[in-house]
Amino acid sequence: QDYPELFKYVNLLKGVNVSVGSHPSGFITSPLSLDENVSTFTTSTCRYPISMCDMKCVDSLNFVKLDILGLDNIEIINKTCELAGIERITPDNIDVEDDNVWNDIAKYPLGIFQMEGKFAHESLSKALSNYEKIKQYDNSITRIDVLSMVNAAIRPACESFRDKLLQGEPNDNGHQEINKLLSKTLGYLTTQEQIMQLLVHFCGYSMHESDNVRRLIGKKIGTEKVIPEIKERFIQTMNSKYNLSIEQASQIVEPFLQIILDASSYGFSENHAKPYSYIGYMCAYLRYYYPLEFITVLLNINKDNLDKTSEIIEFAQVKGISLSPIKFGESRENYNYNKNNNTITKGLSSLKYLNAQVAEELYELSKKKYQHFLDLLININQTSTDTRQLTSLIMLNFFDKFGPNKKLLDYMEIFFKFNGKKSVKKSSLEEYGDNFKKLISIYSRETDKTFKDLDSYNFLKEVWYLIPDTRLPIQVQLEKEKEILGYYQTKIDGIKPSIGYVGEIDTKYSPKLLVYMLNLGIERQFKVQKQLMKKYGIIKKGMIIKIQSWENKRKSRFNPNTQDYEKLDEMEQWITQYSLMESAKLDEYLQERESIQ
């Protein structure tokens, strides 16, 4: 009523499809040709054709839909055990109540199946922090039970009571037998199986009838049609079996009816929650006791996901594991680890633009002895490595043993222009200067307009010494690292830890900065008041900043109920004083330091 114009457009847009995707595990099976009977399309992220009908439509057409869930986590467990040289772990051959593992789970979400999202992990951490309180209600509840409970609680069906459940607050349903049935979940109805048990024990349903209701819930259609019958049969059963009045039974059943309706949005099943929880725990177990092997496997499985790779590397640093930069002669296709120095060497196929074939070709070349970068370039030119791939590797200091990356890039450009050439027009050499022309004249026969009979090999060998020993400017270097690697790897010793590179800035509200601290090699998030930018200068992405002082403040969140901001327990860092640095001065410092070395 207050915004009729706005809601005119809302009603127009409501129900409009804005994106398409595929079910994570749903496959249609049929003896009929699906190409002839189901419209399909393809996406870049799925190797199978995808039906243009959604799940409900497929079911209405009487096609069989199978849930076949392929999990990276199973591969992570298998390959980590293989790398560690241990028997494949199962819930039966490890301690599933290991305090060290559970404490680690509460701290870090990485690699824990179903718990990697912020909301899911915060929910789990909250529940685990209340574990002793939960056990007071039912001493038989294990932490695996808690993880299973959280796996179900984070779904929409449990929204109405989720916070109380995670706080360990038991629910009294108004009847002792119902409380006993739901004791493992503190008196809350959390899974489809519990709904079935409720229908059988307290509504007089047969197992077959209760499974039909479960099917309706699973298909997310028609649940509302059975609610009146469930209510009626609950009242009858509670009256005849437990001598409850109609009024008492009606009062008890109402919350359950709402939960059953909510389950139609997405109610979880125990036969998912338990296995998921064991898979999550086994990942956590390997992460804690075999971190080097676990993180190596995690990096290889996620090598095409730059954001995930950055997250994994950040976790590795927390665990004291360093990632060695790519190096000619060391790096191969995949990530590999060195137990002696607790490091992981990056795999080349994980880099943007690179692939397994190029990685292995370069590794084979590294077995040869090269006295000059020229000889290596000649050999690389005979592989499948293209110019973009070679440029990326040089920028990332892959060939650092031959010289600084700016020099190698300049030399590569000259190599591709002159390698194998027999004649060169003088007009094409204007950009190179007199020394370059003098050198080319030594290795060729000069005419009025052309250098002929060029000995390109010896010329290229000598031209190396005309190119300055310089590296890429720090801003360009960091920009390329983020583009190709997905994270920053350059660290600068000898400068103040307060100097950083502004990788991201969000100015929607109080500016939020993601700053890569150049001395520490880590990213930190800061906020700054807009008024400070008038005093110390406008901060932009790609700038070098010296943070002279900051303070910790509690985060605040707007509460629509009170129409005011409330303080949270989480802290954030606010910059109080800073200065902007010229990157050229930092480049000069680095150049001078390298010259001395």
Predicted local distance difference test score (pLDDT) of residue 494: 85
CA 488 to chain centre: 16
Residue with tokens 């024990």: 201
DSSP 250-268: HHHHHHHHHHHHHHHHH-B
560: three-class secondary structure by DSSP: coil
Round to whole Å and give the CA distance between 402 and 408: 8
For 312-344, letters b (16+ CB in 10 Å) and e give: bbebbeebebebbbbbbeebbbbbbbeeeeeeb
- pLDDT 10s digits, 562-586: 778 787 778 899 999 999 998 888 8
Sign of the dihedral defined by the CA atoms of residues 438, 440, 443, 447, in that order: negative
Cα gap 406→473, rounded to integer Å: 9
Please give the average per-residue pLDDT across 388-406, as a whole number. Answer: 96
List, in order, residues 6 or more apart from 452 with CB less than 8 Å away.
Answer: 422, 423, 444, 445, 446
**pLDDT(108) > 70:** yes
**Residue 243's pLDDT band (cuts 50, 70, 90):** very high
How much is the mean pLDDT over the chain?
Answer: 91
Check residues 16 and 384 and name the one with the higher pLDDT. 384
Alpha-carbon distance of 150 to 120, in angstroms, equals: 8
Q: Taking Cα atoms as reference points, which of 444, 448, 439 lies closest to residue 421?
A: 444
What band does 596 get if pLDDT is binned at 50, 70 and 90? low
Over residues 272-290, the mean pLDDT reads 96
- Distance, CA of 377 to CA of 394 (rounded, Å): 12
In DSSP terms, which residues pair with 368 in a beta bridge? none
pLDDT of residue 411: 97
Q: Is 415 exposed, middle or buried (0-12, 13-18, 19+ CB in 10 A)?
A: buried
Strand ranges, E, within 287-389: 322-324, 336-338, 343-345
For 589, left (φ over 0), alpha (ψ -120 to 50), or beta? alpha
Domains defined for the chain, CATH in brackets: 4-66 (3.30.1900), 189-267 (no CATH), 491-596 (2.40.50)
Nearest to 233 by CA among 262, 206, 269, 263: 206
Return the biggest CA–CA distance within the chain. Answer: 115
Residue 275 pLDDT more than 60?
yes
Contacts with 13 (C-beta within 8 Å, 6 or more apart), sequence order: none
At 19 the pLDDT is 80
Backbone angles phi and psi of 525, in degrees to 5: -105, 130
What is the C-alpha separation between 248 and 243, in angstroms, rounded?
A: 10
Answer whether residue 367 shows pLDDT above 80: yes
If residue 554 lies in a helix (H) or strand (E), which one and from where to where? Answer: strand 544-559
pTM for this entry: 0.75
What is the band of 201 on the pLDDT scale with cuts at 50, 70, 90? very high
pLDDT digits (tens, 9 = 90+) for 124-139: 999 999 999 999 999 9
535 phi/psi in degrees, rounded to 5: -85, -45
Q: Which residues contact 97 (CB under 8 A, 6 or more apart)?
A: 142, 143, 144
Q: For the chain, what percent of residues have pLDDT higher than 90?
A: 67
Query: What average pLDDT does the segment 108-126 reach?
Result: 95
Confidence of residue 595 (pLDDT cuts 50, 70, 90): low
3-state class (DSSP) for residue 579:
strand
| pLDDT tens-digit series, residues 440-499 | 999 999 999 999 999 999 999 999 999 999 999 999 999 999 999 888 999 888 889 999
Q: Strand 343-345's sheet: what is its strand order?
A: 322-324, 343-345, 336-338
Q: What are phi and psi of 483, to 5 degrees?
A: -70, -45
Are the C-beta atoms of 202 and 248 separated by less than 8 Å?
A: no
Joined together, the tokens standing for residue 189 give 């109805």
Q: Is 243 helix (H, G, I), strand (E, B) or coil?
A: coil
Evaluate whether 20 touches 49 at the Cβ level (below 8 Å). no
More confident residue, 14 or 415: 415
DSSP 8-state assignment for residue 195 = H
Using alpha carbons, select from 173, 466, 144, 379 the residue that is nearest to residue 282: 144
Q: Are 404 and 470 in contact (CB under 8 A)?
A: yes
Q: Which residues contact 480 (CB under 8 A, 6 or more apart)?
A: 392, 395, 396, 472
363 touches 331 (CB < 8 A) = yes
Helix ranges, 85-184 (H): 99-107, 118-129, 131-137, 143-153, 162-166, 176-181
Q: How confident is the model at residue 220 (pLDDT cuts 50, 70, 90)?
A: low
The answer to whether the beta carbons of residues 500 and 515 sit under 8 Å apart is yes
Spatial separation of the C-alpha atoms in residues 162 and 127, rounded to whole Å: 10
DSSP assignment of 145-165, as one string?
HHHHHHHHHTSGGGTTTHHHH
User: In this predicted model, which residue has the larger pLDDT, 55 or 181?
Assistant: 181
Q: Is 97 exposed, middle or buried (0-12, 13-18, 19+ CB in 10 A)?
A: exposed
User: What is the number of other CB atoms lying within 10 angstroms of the CB of residue 363?
Assistant: 16
- Rg (C-alpha) for the chain, rounded Å, is 32
- Name, of 382-391, 429-438, 502-511, the range with top average pLDDT: 382-391
Q: Which tokens belong to 173?
A: 């349903």
Check residues 141 and 561 and name the one with the higher pLDDT: 141
**N- to C-terminal Cα separation, the chain:** 74
